[in-house]
Amino acid sequence: MAHDISQHFSQQALALTRIVGEKRLYFLCKRCMDIVLSVLFLTITLPLLLLIAVLIKVDSPGPVLFNQERVRLRKRSIGGEQRWEPSTFIMHKFRTMYHNSNPTIHQQFTKALIRNDEDEVVRLRNNGDSVNKLTDDPRITRLGKVLRRTSLDELPQLWNVLKGEMSLVGPRPPLAYEVAEYKPRHWRRLGTTPGCVALWHVSGWCTVSFEEMVELDVWYIEHQSLWLDVKILLKTVPAVLSGKGGG
Protein backbone atom coordinates (compact mmCIF):
# COMPACT_ATOMS: atom_id res chain seq x y z
CA MET A 1 0.00 0.00 0.00
CA ALA A 2 2.70 2.48 1.04
CA HIS A 3 4.65 1.87 -2.18
CA ASP A 4 1.56 2.48 -4.34
CA ILE A 5 0.75 5.74 -2.59
CA SER A 6 4.36 6.93 -2.80
CA GLN A 7 4.47 6.11 -6.51
CA HIS A 8 1.24 7.87 -7.47
CA PHE A 9 1.29 10.76 -5.00
CA SER A 10 4.29 12.61 -6.46
CA GLN A 11 2.26 15.48 -7.95
CA GLN A 12 0.18 15.85 -4.80
CA ALA A 13 3.36 15.82 -2.71
CA LEU A 14 4.80 18.68 -4.75
CA ALA A 15 1.57 20.62 -4.28
CA LEU A 16 1.68 19.89 -0.56
CA THR A 17 5.24 21.17 -0.30
CA ARG A 18 4.17 24.37 -2.07
CA ILE A 19 1.15 24.86 0.21
CA VAL A 20 3.23 24.34 3.36
CA GLY A 21 5.85 26.80 2.11
CA GLU A 22 3.28 29.47 1.24
CA LYS A 23 1.34 29.08 4.50
CA ARG A 24 4.14 28.62 7.00
CA LEU A 25 2.71 31.25 9.38
CA TYR A 26 -0.75 29.70 9.16
CA PHE A 27 0.50 26.25 10.12
CA LEU A 28 2.45 27.71 13.04
CA CYS A 29 -0.63 29.56 14.33
CA LYS A 30 -2.80 26.49 13.71
CA ARG A 31 -0.45 24.35 15.82
CA CYS A 32 -0.56 26.89 18.65
CA MET A 33 -4.38 26.94 18.49
CA ASP A 34 -4.47 23.13 18.52
CA ILE A 35 -2.34 22.96 21.67
CA VAL A 36 -4.18 25.69 23.58
CA LEU A 37 -7.69 24.47 22.74
CA SER A 38 -6.85 20.80 23.30
CA VAL A 39 -5.46 21.49 26.77
CA LEU A 40 -8.51 23.65 27.52
CA PHE A 41 -11.00 21.03 26.27
CA LEU A 42 -9.26 18.19 28.12
CA THR A 43 -9.23 20.20 31.35
CA ILE A 44 -12.89 21.20 31.11
CA THR A 45 -14.12 17.74 30.11
CA LEU A 46 -11.93 15.73 32.52
CA PRO A 47 -14.85 14.79 34.84
CA LEU A 48 -16.89 13.75 31.78
CA LEU A 49 -13.99 11.69 30.41
CA LEU A 50 -13.68 9.83 33.73
CA LEU A 51 -17.44 9.22 33.87
CA ILE A 52 -17.49 7.84 30.32
CA ALA A 53 -14.55 5.55 31.16
CA VAL A 54 -16.43 4.12 34.15
CA LEU A 55 -19.64 3.66 32.15
CA ILE A 56 -17.80 1.81 29.38
CA LYS A 57 -16.33 -0.65 31.90
CA VAL A 58 -19.79 -1.20 33.44
CA ASP A 59 -21.57 -1.54 30.09
CA SER A 60 -19.41 -4.29 28.56
CA PRO A 61 -16.11 -6.09 29.20
CA GLY A 62 -13.00 -4.79 27.47
CA PRO A 63 -10.67 -1.77 27.44
CA VAL A 64 -11.94 1.80 27.74
CA LEU A 65 -10.10 3.02 24.65
CA PHE A 66 -10.26 1.74 21.10
CA ASN A 67 -6.89 2.30 19.44
CA GLN A 68 -6.88 2.05 15.65
CA GLU A 69 -4.17 2.43 13.03
CA ARG A 70 -4.79 5.29 10.62
CA VAL A 71 -2.89 6.65 7.60
CA ARG A 72 -1.38 10.10 7.13
CA LEU A 73 1.53 11.73 5.32
CA ARG A 74 4.76 12.60 7.12
CA LYS A 75 7.66 14.72 6.00
CA ARG A 76 10.93 12.77 6.09
CA SER A 77 14.50 13.63 5.24
CA ILE A 78 16.00 11.03 2.91
CA GLY A 79 19.54 11.61 1.67
CA GLY A 80 19.25 15.29 2.55
CA GLU A 81 16.04 15.58 0.52
CA GLN A 82 12.69 16.39 2.15
CA ARG A 83 9.98 14.00 1.01
CA TRP A 84 6.35 13.36 1.93
CA GLU A 85 5.65 9.69 2.54
CA PRO A 86 2.63 7.74 3.81
CA SER A 87 2.88 6.50 7.37
CA THR A 88 0.58 5.24 10.08
CA PHE A 89 -0.26 6.35 13.60
CA ILE A 90 -2.57 5.11 16.35
CA MET A 91 -5.78 7.11 16.69
CA HIS A 92 -7.60 6.97 20.03
CA LYS A 93 -11.35 6.76 20.60
CA PHE A 94 -13.59 5.63 23.42
CA ARG A 95 -14.58 2.01 22.78
CA THR A 96 -18.12 1.87 21.41
CA MET A 97 -18.07 -1.74 20.14
CA TYR A 98 -17.91 -5.09 21.86
CA HIS A 99 -14.31 -6.09 22.47
CA ASN A 100 -12.60 -7.97 19.62
CA SER A 101 -15.47 -7.36 17.19
CA ASN A 102 -14.95 -8.57 13.64
CA PRO A 103 -14.16 -5.58 11.33
CA THR A 104 -15.28 -7.40 8.16
CA ILE A 105 -18.67 -5.69 7.88
CA HIS A 106 -17.08 -2.23 8.11
CA GLN A 107 -14.42 -3.16 5.56
CA GLN A 108 -17.11 -4.31 3.13
CA PHE A 109 -19.18 -1.17 3.72
CA THR A 110 -16.19 1.16 3.27
CA LYS A 111 -15.13 -0.53 0.04
CA ALA A 112 -18.70 -0.34 -1.30
CA LEU A 113 -18.83 3.40 -0.54
CA ILE A 114 -15.55 4.12 -2.31
CA ARG A 115 -16.53 2.00 -5.30
CA ASN A 116 -19.96 3.71 -5.36
CA ASP A 117 -21.67 0.31 -5.20
CA GLU A 118 -25.11 1.53 -4.10
CA ASP A 119 -26.71 -1.93 -4.01
CA GLU A 120 -24.03 -3.24 -1.66
CA VAL A 121 -24.26 -0.11 0.52
CA VAL A 122 -28.04 -0.56 0.90
CA ARG A 123 -27.63 -4.26 1.65
CA LEU A 124 -25.04 -3.71 4.35
CA ARG A 125 -26.83 -0.71 5.85
CA ASN A 126 -29.98 -2.82 6.13
CA ASN A 127 -32.32 0.11 6.86
CA GLY A 128 -33.94 3.08 5.15
CA ASP A 129 -31.43 5.67 6.33
CA SER A 130 -29.66 7.89 3.83
CA VAL A 131 -26.51 8.34 5.92
CA ASN A 132 -23.32 6.79 4.61
CA LYS A 133 -22.61 5.00 7.85
CA LEU A 134 -23.43 1.66 9.47
CA THR A 135 -26.13 2.99 11.80
CA ASP A 136 -27.38 -0.53 12.67
CA ASP A 137 -23.95 -2.02 13.24
CA PRO A 138 -24.50 -5.08 15.50
CA ARG A 139 -21.02 -4.65 16.98
CA ILE A 140 -21.96 -1.41 18.79
CA THR A 141 -22.79 -1.55 22.50
CA ARG A 142 -25.76 0.18 24.16
CA LEU A 143 -23.56 2.94 25.53
CA GLY A 144 -21.63 3.03 22.26
CA LYS A 145 -24.76 4.13 20.39
CA VAL A 146 -25.09 7.14 22.71
CA LEU A 147 -21.40 8.01 22.49
CA ARG A 148 -21.45 7.86 18.69
CA ARG A 149 -24.67 9.84 18.36
CA THR A 150 -23.19 12.63 20.52
CA SER A 151 -19.63 12.23 19.11
CA LEU A 152 -18.30 11.90 22.66
CA ASP A 153 -16.36 8.82 21.55
CA GLU A 154 -14.04 11.17 19.63
CA LEU A 155 -12.81 13.12 22.69
CA PRO A 156 -9.65 11.00 23.25
CA GLN A 157 -8.38 12.26 19.88
CA LEU A 158 -7.48 15.47 21.67
CA TRP A 159 -4.46 13.48 22.86
CA ASN A 160 -3.56 12.80 19.21
CA VAL A 161 -3.79 16.54 18.62
CA LEU A 162 -1.44 17.31 21.50
CA LYS A 163 1.07 14.81 20.11
CA GLY A 164 0.95 16.55 16.74
CA GLU A 165 -0.45 13.51 14.93
CA MET A 166 -3.74 15.28 14.23
CA SER A 167 -5.20 18.77 14.21
CA LEU A 168 -8.55 19.95 15.54
CA VAL A 169 -9.65 20.66 11.95
CA GLY A 170 -8.70 18.68 8.86
CA PRO A 171 -9.71 15.69 6.74
CA ARG A 172 -10.48 12.59 8.79
CA PRO A 173 -7.54 10.12 8.79
CA PRO A 174 -8.40 7.04 6.70
CA LEU A 175 -7.94 3.37 7.51
CA ALA A 176 -5.36 1.29 5.68
CA TYR A 177 -8.00 -0.84 3.94
CA GLU A 178 -9.76 2.36 2.88
CA VAL A 179 -6.60 3.82 1.31
CA ALA A 180 -6.02 0.51 -0.47
CA GLU A 181 -9.19 1.28 -2.50
CA TYR A 182 -8.21 4.86 -3.34
CA LYS A 183 -7.84 6.09 -6.88
CA PRO A 184 -5.19 8.81 -7.48
CA ARG A 185 -7.78 11.60 -7.14
CA HIS A 186 -8.71 10.35 -3.67
CA TRP A 187 -5.15 10.60 -2.36
CA ARG A 188 -5.37 14.38 -2.61
CA ARG A 189 -7.31 14.39 0.68
CA LEU A 190 -4.15 13.23 2.47
CA GLY A 191 -2.47 16.54 1.61
CA THR A 192 -2.58 18.07 5.09
CA THR A 193 -2.60 17.09 8.76
CA PRO A 194 -5.66 14.92 9.50
CA GLY A 195 -8.21 16.37 11.88
CA CYS A 196 -10.86 15.61 14.48
CA VAL A 197 -13.43 17.67 12.57
CA ALA A 198 -13.62 17.93 8.77
CA LEU A 199 -15.40 20.41 6.54
CA TRP A 200 -17.88 17.72 5.50
CA HIS A 201 -18.92 17.34 9.15
CA VAL A 202 -20.59 20.76 8.93
CA SER A 203 -21.69 20.29 5.30
CA GLY A 204 -24.01 17.34 5.63
CA TRP A 205 -22.25 15.07 8.14
CA CYS A 206 -22.66 11.45 7.02
CA THR A 207 -25.22 12.25 4.32
CA VAL A 208 -22.52 13.25 1.82
CA SER A 209 -21.19 10.63 -0.57
CA PHE A 210 -17.56 9.52 -0.51
CA GLU A 211 -16.76 11.51 -3.65
CA GLU A 212 -18.40 14.62 -2.15
CA MET A 213 -16.38 14.11 1.03
CA VAL A 214 -13.16 13.94 -0.99
CA GLU A 215 -14.03 17.12 -2.89
CA LEU A 216 -14.82 18.96 0.36
CA ASP A 217 -11.53 17.77 1.88
CA VAL A 218 -9.57 18.90 -1.18
CA TRP A 219 -11.36 22.27 -1.18
CA TYR A 220 -10.44 22.69 2.48
CA ILE A 221 -6.78 21.86 1.80
CA GLU A 222 -6.61 24.42 -1.00
CA HIS A 223 -8.36 27.15 1.02
CA GLN A 224 -7.35 26.38 4.60
CA SER A 225 -6.90 29.37 6.86
CA LEU A 226 -7.15 30.12 10.55
CA TRP A 227 -10.51 31.84 10.07
CA LEU A 228 -11.88 28.86 8.13
CA ASP A 229 -10.75 26.54 10.94
CA VAL A 230 -12.49 28.71 13.53
CA LYS A 231 -15.71 28.77 11.49
CA ILE A 232 -15.69 24.98 11.14
CA LEU A 233 -15.15 24.53 14.89
CA LEU A 234 -18.01 26.92 15.68
CA LYS A 235 -20.35 25.14 13.26
CA THR A 236 -19.43 21.75 14.72
CA VAL A 237 -21.30 22.38 17.98
CA PRO A 238 -24.81 22.71 16.46
CA ALA A 239 -24.02 19.90 13.99
CA VAL A 240 -23.17 17.53 16.86
CA LEU A 241 -26.12 18.64 19.01
CA SER A 242 -28.50 17.96 16.13
CA GLY A 243 -27.27 14.36 15.97
CA LYS A 244 -27.29 14.64 12.18
CA GLY A 245 -25.74 11.55 10.71
CA GLY A 246 -24.63 10.29 14.06
CA GLY A 247 -25.23 6.85 15.48
* Contacts with 165 (C-beta within 8 Å, 6 or more apart), sequence order: 72, 89, 91, 194
Residue 86's pLDDT band (boundaries 50, 70, 90)?
Answer: confident
Nearest to 166 by CA among 151, 177, 155: 155
pLDDT of 43 > 60? The answer is yes
Residue 111's pLDDT band (boundaries 50, 70, 90)?
Answer: confident
pLDDT of 7 > 60? The answer is no
Predicted TM-score (pTM) of this structure:
0.83
Say what the pLDDT of residue 12 is: 55
